[in-house]
């Protein structure tokens, strides 16, 4: 049974794997046997050290995913590591907080371009390879704001709601080619993305009080969901947005 989750011999591309949730996911996939390609705007040295300590190969690709310009080169570099690309985790993302009355167009575009447009076109580039090589696994990082509106983050809510939409749309089109497209919706996790909330004396206790598990998530809390959706164990799972949220949405 455990062999269903074994990623030995697989190559996984994880965007934004230098820190936070992307790093946690990269380490989980490596622990399950995958070699890892990190793509992001910042060096992923710490992730490299930890992946190699697990005995896996690691490649760091510099790419600014605020535009679609690098996506083909990123996929080509990932394929170049082992001659194949089996898993893509679209994790890189940004958040800009402002009252909706004050949001400016540059911030709106930055969030939508990074969190949505690049995810679509990176998935497209990867799926063209996967479709020719027997299939693969695409895992998008969605959010609670794929289901809810959030507060003072309208572009982020729009981008993550659209991630749920393209997860289902791409799953419908690519399932027949052996490509599983699914998403993980993390709850409130302790990363740079939520730093402003965690020091807010009003928001932090309000958020914590609403989480049935009674704590913020840590990147390692995504390990099980990530390995499941990247492995043969999820071969008949398509278009799902899986919350990993300490029970937030159940409340
Ligand atoms: P983070 O800020 O620590 O990590 C974001 C990652 O994205 C970093 O590696 C960063 O370098 C990368 N990135 C940002 N802009 C980029 C660009 N233009 N090009 C390339 N890489 C870029 O935050 P995180 O919480 O680890 O966020 C990871 C993902 O999880 C994001 O998509 C975020 O929206 C999502 N998410 C986070 C939470 C949470 O509570 N932390 C909850 C739900 C969803």
Residue-wise DSSP of 172-233? HHHGGGTEEEEEEEE-SBSSGGGHHHHT-TTHHHHHHHH-TTSS-B-GGGGHHHHHHHHSGG
Classify residue 119: in a domain, yes or no: yes
CATH of residue 191: 3.40.50.720
Tokens of 215: 């704590």
- State the sign of the Cα–Cα–Cα–Cα dihedral 58, 90, 184, 94: positive
Closest atom of ligand 1 to CA, residue 156: 34
The strand pairing partners of 244, in sequence order, are: 186
pLDDT digit string, tens, across residues 165-184: 999 999 999 999 999 999 99
Q: Which of 28, 191, 200 to mutate to test the pocket of ligand 1 (most atoms within 8 A of CB)?
A: 191
Classify residue 251: in a domain, yes or no: no
pLDDT bin (cut points 50, 70, 90) of residue 143 is very high
Classify residue 209: in a domain, yes or no: yes
Classify residue 250: in a domain, yes or no: no
Classify residue 158: in a domain, yes or no: yes
Classify residue 105: in a domain, yes or no: yes
For residue 63, which phi and psi values (nearest 5 degrees)?
A: -155, 130
d(CA 211, CA 247): 6
Q: Which of 43, 188, 193 to mutate to test the pocket of ligand 1 (most atoms within 8 A of CB)?
A: 193
- What pLDDT was estimated at residue 206? 97
Domain count, the chain: 1
Classify residue 249: in a domain, yes or no: no
- What pLDDT was estimated at residue 123? 99
Residue-wise DSSP of 188-201? SBSSGGGHHHHT-T
Domain span at residue 16 reads 2-243
pLDDT digit string, tens, across residues 215-227: 999 999 999 999 9
Question: pTM above the 0.85 mark?
Answer: yes
- What pLDDT was estimated at residue 230? 99
pLDDT bin (cut points 50, 70, 90) of residue 31 is very high
Determine whether 236 is an active site residue. no
Q: Could you tell me the distance, in angstroms and rounded to a whole number, from the CA of residue 219 to the centre of ligand 1?
A: 11
- Range 238-250 average pLDDT: 98
Classify residue 248: in a domain, yes or no: no
Task: Give me the chain's average pLDDT, please.
Answer: 98
pLDDT more than 70, % of the chain: 100
């Amino acid at each position: 049974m455990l062999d269903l989750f074994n990623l030995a011999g697989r190559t996984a591309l994880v965007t934004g794997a230098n820190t936070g949730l992307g790093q946690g996911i990269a380490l989980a996939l490596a622990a399950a046997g995958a070699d890892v390609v990190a793509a992001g705007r910042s060096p992923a040295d710490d992730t490299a050290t930890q992946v190699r300590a697990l005995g896996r190969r690691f490649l760091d690709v510099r790419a600014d995913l605020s535009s679609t310009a690098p996506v083909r080169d990123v996929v080509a570099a990932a394929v170049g590591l082992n001659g194949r690309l089996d898993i893509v985790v679209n994790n890189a993302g940004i958040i800009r907080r402002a009252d909706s009355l004050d949001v400016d167009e540059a911030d709106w575009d930055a969030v939508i371009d990074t969190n949505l447009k690049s995810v679509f076109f990176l998935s497209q580039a990867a799926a063209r390879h996967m479709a020719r090589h027997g299939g693969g696994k695409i895992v998008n990082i969605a959010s609670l704001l794929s289901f809810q509106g959030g507060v003072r983050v309208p572009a982020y809510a729009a981008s993550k709601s659209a991630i749920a939409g393209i997860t289902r749309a791409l799953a419908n089109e690519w399932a027949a080619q052996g490509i599983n497209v699914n998403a993980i919706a993390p709850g409130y996790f302790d990363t740079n993305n939520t730093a402003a909330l965690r020091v807010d004396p009003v928001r932090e206790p309000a958020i914590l009080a609403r989480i049935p598990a009674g704590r913020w998530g840590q990147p390692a809390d995504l390990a099980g969901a990530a390995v499941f959706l990247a492995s043969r164990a999820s071969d008949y799972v398509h278009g799902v947005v899986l919350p990993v949220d300490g029970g937030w949405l159940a409340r």
